[in-house]
Amino acid sequence: MYLPIFAASASLLVGVAHGYASPGSCSGACNVHDPSLIRRESDGRYFRFSTGNKISYASSSSIAGPWTTIGSMLPHGSSIDLAGNTDLWAPDVHLVNGVYYVYYSVSTFGSQKSAIGLATSTTMNSGTWKDHGSVGITSDSTKLYNAIDPNLIKAGGNYYMNFGSFWDDLYQAPMKSTPTASASSSHNIAFNPSGTHAEEGAFMYEHGGYYYLFYSAGICCSYDTSKPASGAEYKIKVCRSKYPTSGFVDASGVACTNGGGTTVLESHGTVYGPGGQGVFTDPTHGPVLYYHYVDTTIGYADSQKRFGWNAIDFSSGWPVV
Per the CB < 8 A criterion, the answer to whether 7 and 229 are in contact is yes
At 231, is the secondary structure helix, strand, or coil?
coil
Cα angle 218-220-222, degrees, rounded to a multiple of 5 = 135
Active-site choice (34, 87, 199, 302): 34
Count the helix, strand and coil residues of the chain and give each as a percent rounded to the nearest 5. Answer: 0, 45, 55
Comparing C-alpha atoms, which of 54, 173, 164, 53 is closest to residue 119? 54
Confidence at residue 182, expressed as pLDDT on a 0 to 100 scale:
96
Per the CB < 8 A criterion, the answer to whether 165 and 1 are in contact is yes
Confidence at residue 57, expressed as pLDDT on a 0 to 100 scale:
98
| Residue 200 among the catalytic residues | yes
At 303, is the secondary structure helix, strand, or coil?
helix
pTM for the full predicted model: 0.93
All residues at 6 or more sequence positions from 271 whose CB lies less than 8 Å from its CB, including other chains:
20, 22, 23, 293, 294, 295, 296, 308
Rounded to the nearest 10 degrees, how much is the dihedral formed by the CA atoms of 262, 264, 270, 273? -60
Q: Taking the CA of residue 310 as centre, how many other CA atoms within 13 Å lie in the half-sphere pointing to its CB?
A: 22
Give the distance, in angstroms, between the CA of residue 185 and the centroid of all CA atoms in the same chain: 21
Comparing C-alpha atoms, which of 72, 17, 28 is closest to residue 49? 72
The helix (run of H) or strand (run of E) holding residue 174 is strand 170-174
Where b means 16+ CB within 10 Å and e means fewer, 216-232 reads: bbbbbbebeeeebeeeb
Chunked into runs of 10 residues, the chain (321 residues) has average pLDDT values of 36 50 98 98 98 97 98 95 82 98 91 94 98 96 95 97 95 97 96 94 98 97 95 98 98 98 98 98 97 98 97 98 97
Confidence at residue 248, expressed as pLDDT on a 0 to 100 scale:
98
At 143, is the secondary structure helix, strand, or coil?
coil
Active-site choice (92, 169, 199, 200): 200
| Residue 41 among the catalytic residues | no
Check whether the bond before 174 is cis (ω within 30° of 0): no
Q: What is the CB neighbour count within 10 angstroms for residue 95?
A: 13
What is the layout of strands, in order, in the sheet containing 114-121?
87-96, 99-107, 114-121, 130-139
Comparing C-alpha atoms, which of 64, 115, 68 is closest to residue 90? 115
The Cα 278–Cα 46 span in angstroms is 14
| Domains and their CATH numbers in the chain | 33-309 (2.115.10.20)
